[in-house]
Amino acid sequence: MAELIELKVPDIGDFEAVEIIEVLVAVGDSIDENQEVITVESDKAMMEIPASQAGVIKEMKVAVGDKVSEGTVIAMLEVAEGASSAKEEAKAEEKTEKPVATAPAENTQPKPETKVEASPAVNTPPAEAIPYAPDNKSGIRRAHASPSVRRFARDLGVVLTSVSGTGPKGRVTKEDVQSYVKQVMTAPAAAPAQSGSAIPSVPVVNFEQFGDVETQEMSRIKKISGKHLHACWLNIPHVTQFDEADITELDAFRKENKDMAAKKGVNLTPLVFIMKAVVACLKQFPEFNASLSEDKESLILKNYYNLGVAVDTPNGLMVPVIKDVDKKGFLELAGELGDISARAREGSLTAKDLQGGTFSISSLGGIGGQFFTPIVNAPEVAILGVSRHQMKPVWNGKEFVPRLMLPLSVSYDHRVIDGAAGARFTVMLSQMLSDIRKVLL
């Protein structure tokens, strides 16, 4: 014989008059104990209401949009005669055996072999909330799944919102979770992105359809430096600080000593003075002469000053490094700079000539232009760009006077150097170049 009972809303805490947003069963359905029958939602949360017993739905008492509270009748459920008593006996037996256990049953069960550590793809954050339709007050939704499926997914480290449900109305079943894990475990490892994280590639265009074209292979240097510059630009948050330095007196001093330097076989260029001024500033701002540690948690401060100097060669840009700039005089630096620049253009630099830099200088003064944004040469954290100097009228407080002004562009890694430090470094560099005697202090 069968017995007809009322299926009611159990204790749902402090929630009252919560709205039904989904009815998961229909008249005639056979349901299991603890199977969800309706889903309700308040302003704060959403939950599924399970059946207290197994049986067959004979009549539905609620519909989507109705509001329910504890004790509200959901449906009339036909259960087998004696099912209630059998259920009570099972509960009594469970209570009798329960004190013997030393830990909750959930903790004593062995974990499945397909633990989350086996695949990075499964090892996603545990949160199950994802954005969806903006007309919802909470702005999130949860994957539809029973408590047992949710527990099963947690054991495997699977976020249910990543799993496509095949059950009624998109509900996630245990088989869906198993299929998802199997798919992740057997999927080939994704190839590393070549164009940067989440950056779409440039579309390929057949330029021949617009006219005559010619293909020219890039030089080996451009291929190598191009990849490095691309990585630097993608991985370093760049900021560039601009300023001008009054080098009127510096250039006059350089010209006065140019012939003397030439007799010693060296060319006394403005870049030599810029290098010495840069080192003086690096000593005052050691974070500019540093590198980030591999884990990005520490700053490696360097107590040596090796400046990379960008050289324009027929095969592309090269950055040879001049070591220990702080320990060398102007004439010695001028000779070394001329030698290493010549070898760069000849293509006779060694690997040692290109290593160990702590700060770089890119000078475009011989070409022209004003300000630009040089790319930081990682693992360095800053770079100076120098443009062509030009005579400008400068107000001295009483009148405009002609002054030789040098444009400066300092790019830096904003993770290491904040804006205030970037501005102070650039201002100090400008002051050093305006009066080169300060380098000796």
Cα-based angle 181, 182, 188 (whole degrees, multiple of 5): 105
- CA distances in angstroms from 384 to 16, 67, 114, 309, 426, listed in the order given: 66, 68, 53, 10, 9
Distance CA 81, CA 30 (A): 16
Phi and psi angles of residue 397, each rounded to the nearest 5 degrees, phi first = 105, -20
Residues 6+ apart with CB under 8 A from 13: none
Among 228, 230, 238, 414, the active-site one is 414
Cα-based angle 305, 309, 311 (whole degrees, multiple of 5): 165
In the annotation, is 238 catalytic? no
CA dihedral 419, 424, 425, 426 (to 10 degrees): 90
Angle between helices 419-434 and 270-284 (to 10 degrees): 140
- CA distances in angstroms from 246 to 81, 216, 277, 394, listed in the order given: 100, 43, 13, 9
Torsion-angle region of residue 326: left (phi > 0), alpha (psi -120 to 50) or beta?
alpha
141 CB-contact burial (10 Å; exposed 0-12 / middle 13-18 / buried 19+):
middle
Nearest to 306, CA basis, from 338, 354, 345: 354
State the residue for tokens 């002051």: 431
Residue ranges of alpha helices (H) inside 40-103 are 83-97
Kindly state the tokens that stand for 339. 């030698």
How many other C-beta atoms lie within 10 A of the C-beta of residue 439?
16
Please name the amino acid found at residue 418.
D
Kindly state the tokens that stand for 129. 């909330």
Across the beta sheet with 67-68, the strand order is 46-50, 36-41, 18-23, 67-68
Residues 6+ apart with CB under 8 A from 349: 318, 320, 340, 343
> Among all residues, which ones are annotated catalytic?
414
